[in-house]
Structure 1
Amino acid sequence: AVSDVIFQTITDFKLTDCILNLGYISHHDAIAEQRKSQVLLLIEIDSEDTKSIIPGKLFEYLVSGRPILAIGPKDSDFAEIIINTNTGAFFAYHQKQLLKAKIVEYYNLFLNQNLIVNAIGIDKYSRKNLTLELTKLL
């Protein structure tokens, strides 16, 4: 769910015409919408408490074949996964100019039909492999 604070920020910046909020949709429909997207946005709350959180959505994004544009707390655990798998870019909240440059880069790649992901090592994060690693710990 998207918080009221986010919707208010969208309104404050006069971006409501740029946003399509589908509300709750089934997982199947969510994956279909994901496949239509050119870039996938992943945002985590900017706090010390969320640095070690790895959003479940990240694992679906990894196999999507779409670049991930992630924003979160500096030194987030999920930043390392995105960087190591070459599946996108991660930015801390204070890196606004770098984020803007990456959005422009992705847009230009899209215009030139060259927006691709060359993912590496994502099999390590499959449900099968993660479950296997968990069984080793038990």
Structure 2
Amino acid sequence: SLLITHTGTISETYHIELLLSAVAECRRRHPDVPLRLRFVGEVAAGVRRQLTENGLTDATELIPFVPHDESVGYLLRSTVLLMAIPDVAHNFGILPGKVFEYLAANKPILCVGPAGSDADHLLQECGAGRAWPYDAYEAMLDHLETLVAQWRISPNLDLPALSHSRYSRRCLTEQLVALLR
């Protein structure tokens, strides 16, 4: 299946409702494509309601909190990873720690958050994705359509590891050591 996974806590402040609407529309347009969502971790009641309102409950797997290594396993068994930046003041500088785990998984990353943010710049620099503004329904839908088209050609959408290797713990540690010398 074309499986989009989010790990960690997700609440209404992340404003993924238009993304969920776009996923629902994409499923309507492509009933032959098994487009599914997986949330591993805490999912707020409001987000669960949005899943229901968009008719996505049958296409969504909700997995409660799991140990970290198990969470990483879910990332690796996904097609695309979902990251969301909370819609709060000064969110342009928010860079979730999970972005580095997501990059290490070598999967495309669909981020809902401010365009031009630090997260957006990092994702684009690594060739892993970009941030889609909270109100960019058409852009999100177009991106999902592109992912479906790519998935039809090859269900493996994994990215080359080299695009983000400079952000690995090893590389960052080497850079820190060089600075301290």
TM-score above 0.5, yes or no = yes
The corresponding residue for 1:36 is 77
Quote the Cα distance in structure 2 between the aligned partners of 1:51 and 1:70. 13
| Residue 13 of structure 1: how far off its partner (Å) | 2.0
**Cα pair 1:88 1:117 within 8 Å, conserved:** no
Instruction: Structure 2: give runs of 5+ residues left out of the alignment.
Output: 1-41
Distance 1:14 1:21 in 2: 15
Per-residue CA shift, 1:62-101, capped at 9, x if unaligned? 1212111111123321100000110123211122111111
C-alpha contact (below 8 Å) 1:72/1:91 kept by paired residues: yes
CA–CA distance in 1 between the matches of 2:49 and 2:175? 42
The CA distance in 1 between the partners of 2:118 and 2:176, in whole Å, is: 18
Q: Which amino acid aligns with 1:92?
A: P
Q: Report the CA distance shift for 1:42/1:128 in structure 2 as closer, same or farther (over 3 A).
A: same
Match of residue 100 from structure 1: 141
Question: Does residue 1:45 correspond to 2:107, yes or no?
Answer: no
Identity of aligned residues (%): 28
Counterpart residue identity of residue 129, structure 1: C
Normalised TM-score (structure 2): 0.67
Q: Report if the CA contact (8 A) 2:114-2:120 is conserved.
A: no
Out of 132, 155, 169, the residue aligned to residue 127 of structure 1 is 169
Q: Could you tell me which amino acid in structure 2 is paired with residue 23 of structure 1?
A: P
- The 10-residue stretch of structure 1 (109-118 or 82-91) with the greater mean CA deviation from structure 2: 109-118
CA distance in 2, matches of 1:71, 1:94: 9
Greater fraction strand: 2
Of residues 126-135 and 104-113 in structure 1, the stretch that sits farther from structure 2 once superposed is: 126-135
Structure 1 length-normalised TM = 0.86
Distance apart, 1:119 and its partner CA: 5.5
- Higher-RCO chain (CA-CA 8 Å, sequence separation at least 6): 2
> Which runs of 5 or more structure 1 residues have no equivalent in the other structure?
none
Distance 1:133 1:54, change over 3 A: farther
State how far apart, in whole Å, the 2-side matches of 1:44 and 1:118 are.
25
The offset of 1:131, in angstroms, is 4.2
CA change 1:4–1:118 in 2 (3 A) is: same
